[in-house]
Amino acid sequence: MPVKLILGLQHGDEGKGRIVDDFTESWADIIVRFQGGGNAGHTVYDKQGNKFVTHSLPVGVLHKDKLNIISKGCVLNIEELIQEIKELNVSSENLKISGLCPIIEPMHVLKDKLKYQGKIGTTAKGIGPAYSDFYARDSILLRDLIEEPSVTFEKIKTKYHEFALHKSKDIRIDQLKLYYECEHQQFQFMQKIQEYAEFLSKFILEDEYYLSKNLDKNIILEGAQGSGLNIYSDNYPNVTSSSPTIGGALNSTNLNHKNIDEVIGVIKSYKTKVGSGEFKTLCDEKNHKILATLGKEFGATTGRPRQCGWLDLDEVNEAIMQNGVDHLFITKTDVFMNIESPKVYFNGEYHIISNIKDINEQDEGFNQLLSLITNKTKINKISYTTGPLRGQIKFS
Ligand code: IMP
């Protein structure tokens, strides 16, 4: 059962992408993105320091000899997806997409921008409205577009016009520009819809049980966002609209819980968060500046600055319980080591550890960090990264 599930245990941006990338290089045959959409931004640096960012695509596409799958729990902005496929030169041997993925329509992006971006600080990629339609059983799936492009054309057009007609009654003057930009985008999308259908038809995953039938291969399930953003988390409504959890992975892939061999939880040695909602362990201005600057803590999708704070092991423990985490991966200690009095939060208290001078187990500060994490989470299998580049990693 060689299936590894890689999840973020904080609020996203833990560095899951580069962990997936390292496992892809050394181990995996198949890499599966199972939830979310273009709201994610998975950043990878190769050994030479060249930077790559994937949004809708699994990170495994950076390796041309691996099979990548976007499974049915993901929502697709097909325009952006095609652009990403072209930019990264991804072939149909390298990528398969479930026909059951709901499409993000231009109307979804408009709704997201008009209603939710100000309210809960979404990425404005249309994610929430697209999942709303899915649960209302009103989505257009990728297979509809491929199999019946003209019927789909009419459906998207009608949905947009019903929405626009209704919305135009209460549009505010400051929203007019946005409204007309989206109108233009809708027009362009409709003009190209046939072309998009043709392009994507060669990428369709033929068998929804492909993974179950290929369990002799090494499979990675690549989570996006993190447990704190789970739609079922008590952080609701300051969450995303999918489940970056083991539950979300199983629903999306048709695998069952017995197929998962190892759950790998990724945490940064500090914490960051974008968007609205409480941030209990937000740190002081001086340390914030160090983490934000050296950690390049700006959204890979939106460019928004991320708020920075101390690692919250209470939150991490909840995510460990929920997902049955076997193995912890700690990232970005090369950034955290620049903090003079590093702290970790657990059970209502801050624990101060010695300065980290080097990322190896002989270093007093780093050793204290690892011991604290092991003692408080009860996870003994801990791996860590030693720098941002592919291969700068110490597997447990
Ligand atoms: P949405 O996913 O665009 O609907 O945004 C909902 C919330 O999740 C907002 O607070 C976003 O900032 C946050 N969010 C969504 N995707 C990511 C991500 O990949 N990293 C970090 N935060 C994210």
Looking at residue 174, its pLDDT comes to 83
**pLDDT over threshold 80, residue 166:** no
DSSP 56: S
Name the one residue in this structure whose structure tokens are 């790559």: 52
Q: What is the CA radius of gyration of the chain?
A: 21
Cis ω for the linkage preceding 129 (within 30 of 0)? no
Using pLDDT thresholds of 50, 70 and 90, give the confidence band for residue 171.
confident
Residues in the chain: 396
Which pLDDT tens digit goes with each residue over 45-82?
999 999 999 999 999 999 999 999 999 999 999 999 99
Strand segments (E) across 205-258: 219-222
Cβ of residue 109 lying under 6 Å from some atom of ligand 1: no
Q: Nearest residue CA, atom 1 of ligand 1?
A: 122
Looking at residue 176, its pLDDT comes to 85
Q: Exactly one of 42, 108, 327, 351 is catalytic; which is it?
A: 42
Q: Report strand pairing: 42-45 vs 51-54.
A: antiparallel
Q: Exactly one of 11, 13, 327, 334 is catalytic; which is it?
A: 13
User: Cβ contacts of residue 297 below 8 Å, gap of 6+?
Assistant: 13, 272, 291, 305, 306, 308
* Probe target for ligand 1 pocket from 42, 54, 229, with the most ligand atoms within 8 Å of CB: 229
Q: What is the mean pLDDT of the segment spanning 168-174? A: 80
124: left (phi > 0), else alpha (psi -120 to 50), else beta?
A: left
The rounded distance, in Å, linking the Cα atoms of 190 and 356 is: 55
Cβ of residue 225 lying under 6 Å from some atom of ligand 1: yes
281-315: b (≥16 Cβ within 10 Å) or e = bebeeebbebbbeebebebbbbeeebbbbbbbbeb
Nearest of 246, 225, 232, 322 to residue 4 by alpha carbon = 246
Q: What is the mean pLDDT of the segment spanning 218-224? A: 98
Which pLDDT tens digit goes with each residue over 87-130?
999 999 999 999 999 999 999 999 999 888 778 889 999 999 99
The rounded distance, in Å, linking the Cα atoms of 25 and 104 is: 31
* Probe target for ligand 1 pocket from 112, 225, 236, with the most ligand atoms within 8 Å of CB: 225
User: Cβ contacts of residue 345 below 8 Å, gap of 6+?
Assistant: 280, 281, 310, 311, 312, 313, 314, 351
Using pLDDT thresholds of 50, 70 and 90, give the confidence band for residue 1.
low
Cβ of residue 359 lying under 6 Å from some atom of ligand 1: no
Question: Over the chain, what is the mean pLDDT?
Answer: 95
User: Rounded to the nearest whole angstrom, what is the distance from the C-alpha of residue 39 to the centroid of ligand 1?
Assistant: 6
The rounded distance, in Å, linking the Cα atoms of 90 and 245 is: 27
User: Rounded to the nearest whole angstrom, what is the distance from the C-alpha of residue 189 to the centroid of ligand 1?
Assistant: 24
Nearest atom, ligand 1, residue 274 CA: 12
Listed as own residue / partner, the contacts of 132-135 with beta carbons closer than 8 Å and 24 or more positions apart are 132/241, 133/102, 133/108, 134/75, 134/102
Using pLDDT thresholds of 50, 70 and 90, give the confidence band for residue 29.
very high
Cβ of residue 272 lying under 6 Å from some atom of ligand 1: no
Nearest of 43, 6, 45, 41 to residue 23 by alpha carbon = 6
DSSP 218: -
| Active-site residue, 11 included | no
Which pLDDT tens digit goes with each residue over 296-353?
999 888 888 999 999 999 999 999 999 999 999 999 999 999 999 999 999 999 999 9
22-45: b (≥16 Cβ within 10 Å) or e = bbbbeebbbbbbbbbbbbbbbbbb
Name the one residue in this structure whose structure tokens are 């939106």: 302
Which pLDDT tens digit goes with each residue over 354-371?
999 999 999 999 999 999
The reported pTM is 0.96
Looking at residue 172, its pLDDT comes to 83
Name the one residue in this structure whose structure tokens are 């090369």: 334
Cβ of residue 233 lying under 6 Å from some atom of ligand 1: no
Please state, for a pLDDT cut of 90, what percent of the chain lies above it.
87
| Active-site residue, 13 included | yes
